[in-house]
């Protein structure tokens, strides 16, 4: 045997070719041996050493309404002594569809196991919103539609395993001490909406409605029952107003039969949120009031919500200085749902500005920062896009500048290719990347910079505190 050390010079798929050859031996044996050879080719996946880093920038640009139809991004690489040589790669993508990246990466939007009821629901929901969008926008994509339908059907069947005998839902069904009020309302919303595309046992869902209704307090709000998986709705003063607004908004969105008393009592609970200075609570309450068709109070709540908006250039968002970006994405997405639900020309203009702010935080796969903000943002984007009239004409030119190897790259988008993602991939990383959109329509543009470093960034992404107790 013989060993050869092979060192790859580039990353990616590399073909390794091994050839064995028998040389002709004439005159050394009774019979001549002719030359023979055989070749084996194996493809090797070569990965860069070190730790992968990724930085994404996204924007949704509409030349006809933007004061500046250009966007510039600073692309910063780490110091040379920590950067793995030749590991940097930049991908620029453009498509004339706000949902484009999500349609291309349906199975990668939410990367979660399916071991409990909350995780399963989070994987199911994006499929429903994508399917709703492609149907409403008249897109013909049978393969994508079939994939989304299959995922919804499988998710529905699995979700039923987390329903308890009393009609409620929890993370592990009857194994838990009690049902979860938050999760039950979320399940009813998603499965109630899914009835438009798959067969759903409505009686099982109505059992969940009954379980929730029986737990409504005299003031129309709800207590915390079971696990609450999002700290956003846990309030320091012990109030359950935010939780109640979310539960009522989900119930109103389900399309299920709700007892008249639940709606009447809900009005008392939600009215107390109209003066709230918390954008998240106010957005949920406004959405619940609108979907329960309590229009007068919904209008009052919406005006309060608009007064809390943060305007910046051509975009608008909702949040507080101490809130995370993920939390602000969720809050702004609920605000978009309110604006679309209470549709007026001015509300749709504001919704567009909010949608463009949301789009700036999209990741490479079309999702966002966390599971929760991805689910809520996709719902908001699908509702907003389906509320708009279909574009009769798309004629765009997107000019990208900043590269050393060429002065610029131009993409052309029209009605025939507007749903197709066009890409530019290069290892020539500029310090600044500028994209300018011209013409009719809107374009979703994104840059994704990937590189490897020898040493990870200092600091931990996750801290765990473990305590033990005798059983």
Q: What is the CATH number of the domain that holds 346?
A: 1.50.10.20
Please tell me whether residues 420 and 292 are part of one structural domain: no
pLDDT at 331: 96
The strand pair at 70-74 and 89-95 is best described as unpaired
- Is the confidence at residue 170, as pLDDT, over 60? yes
**Chain-wide mean pLDDT for the chain?**
87
Please tell me whether residues 366 and 338 are part of one structural domain: yes
> pLDDT (tens digit, 9 = 90+) per residue, 279-336?
999 999 999 999 999 999 999 999 999 999 999 878 999 998 888 999 999 999 999 9
pLDDT at 389: 74
pLDDT at 462: 59
Please tell me whether residues 248 and 301 are part of one structural domain: yes
Please tell me whether residues 237 and 302 are part of one structural domain: yes
Q: Which residues of 104-132 are buried (b: 16+ CB within 10 A; e: fewer)?
A: bebeebbeeeeebbbbbbbbbbbbbbbbb
**Distance (Å, rounded) from C-alpha 66 to C-alpha 338?**
23
Confidence grade of residue 469 (pLDDT, cut at 50, 70, 90): low
Structural domain of 410: 51-93+392-453
268 phi and psi angles, rounded to 5 deg: -65, -40
Please tell me whether residues 167 and 263 are part of one structural domain: yes
Is 2 contained in some domain? Answer: no
- Neighbour-count burial of 153, counting CB atoms closer than 10 A to its CB (0-12 exposed, 13-18 middle, 19+ buried): middle
Is 467 contained in some domain? Answer: no
Report, as an integer, the average pLDDT of 180-195.
96
Please tell me whether residues 265 and 191 are part of one structural domain: yes
Give the C-alpha distances (Å, rounded to integers) separating 173 from 134, 192, 193, 434: 33, 19, 22, 51
Please tell me whether residues 354 and 404 are part of one structural domain: no
Please tell me whether residues 288 and 322 are part of one structural domain: yes
Number of domains in the chain: 3
Is the pLDDT higher at 405 or at 68?
68
Please tell me whether residues 189 and 231 are part of one structural domain: yes
> pLDDT (tens digit, 9 = 90+) per residue, 67-96?
778 888 888 787 778 888 888 899 999 998
> pLDDT (tens digit, 9 = 90+) per residue, 259-274?
999 999 999 999 999 9
Please tell me whether residues 317 and 444 are part of one structural domain: no
Provide the CA 401 distance to its chain's centre, in angstroms. 28
Any idea what the Cα angle at residue 445 is, between residues 311 and 424, rounded to 5°?
Answer: 155
Q: Which of 356, 371, 387 is the last residue of a domain?
A: 387
Please tell me whether residues 309 and 210 are part of one structural domain: yes
């Amino acid at each position: 045997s013989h060993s050869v050390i092979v060192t790859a010079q580039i990353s990616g798929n590399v073909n390794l070719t091994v050839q064995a050859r028998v040389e002709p031996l004439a005159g050394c044996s009774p019979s001549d041996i002719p030359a023979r050879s055989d070749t084996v080719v194996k493809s090797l996946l070569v990965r860069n050493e070190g730790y992968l880093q990724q930085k994404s920038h996204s924007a949704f640009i509409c030349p006809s309404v933007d004061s500046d139809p250009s966007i510039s991004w600073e692309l910063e690489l780490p110091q040379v002594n920590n950067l793995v040589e030749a590991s940097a790669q930049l991908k620029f993508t453009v498509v004339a569809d706000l949902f484009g990246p999500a349609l291309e990466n349906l199975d990668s939007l939410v990367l979660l196991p399916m071991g409990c009821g909350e995780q399963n629901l989070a994987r199911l929901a994006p499929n429903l919103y994508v399917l709703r969008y492609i149907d409403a926008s008249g897109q013909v994509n049978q393969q994508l539609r079939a994939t989304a339908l299959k995922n919804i059907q499988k998710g529905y069947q699995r979700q039923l395993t987390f329903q308890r005998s009393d009609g409620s839902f929890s993370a592990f069904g009857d194994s838990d001490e009690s049902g979860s009020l938050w999760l039950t309302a979320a399940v009813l919303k998603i499965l109630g909406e899914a009835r438009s595309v798959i067969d759903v046992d409505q009686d099982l869902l109505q059992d969940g409605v009954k379980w929730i209704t029986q737990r409504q307090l005299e003031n129309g709000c709800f207590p915390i029952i079971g696990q609450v998986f999002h700290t956003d709705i846990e309030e320091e003063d012990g109030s359950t107003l935010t939780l109640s607004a979310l539960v009522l908004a989900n119930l109103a969105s389900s399309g299920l039969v709700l007892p008249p008393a639940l709606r009447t009592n809900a009005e008392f609970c939600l009215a107390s949120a109209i003066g709230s200075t918390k954008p998240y609570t106010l957005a949920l309450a406004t959405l619940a009031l609108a979907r329960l068709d309590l229009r007068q109070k919904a209008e009052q709540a919406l005006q309060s919500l608009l007064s809390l908006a943060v305007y910046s250039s051509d975009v608008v968002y909702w949040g507080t200085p101490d809130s995370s970006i993920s939390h602000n994405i969720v809050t702004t997405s609920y605000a978009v749902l309110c604006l679309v639900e209470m549709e007026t020309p001015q509300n749709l203009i504001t919704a567009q500005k909010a949608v463009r702010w949301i789009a700036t935080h999209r990741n490479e796969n079309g999702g966002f920062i966390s599971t929760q903000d991805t689910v809520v943002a996709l719902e908001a984007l699908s509702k907003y896009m389906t509320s708009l009239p279909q574009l009769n004409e798309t004629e765009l030119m997107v000019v990208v500048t900043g590269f050393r190897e060429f002065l610029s790259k131009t993409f052309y988008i029209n009605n025939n290719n507007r749903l197709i993602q066009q890409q530019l991939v290069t290892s020539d990383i500029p310090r600044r990347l500028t994209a300018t959109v011209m013409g009719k329509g809107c374009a979703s543009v994104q840059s994704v910079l990937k590189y490897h470093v020898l040493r990870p960034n200092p600091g931990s992404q996750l801290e765990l505190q473990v305590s033990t107790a005798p059983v």
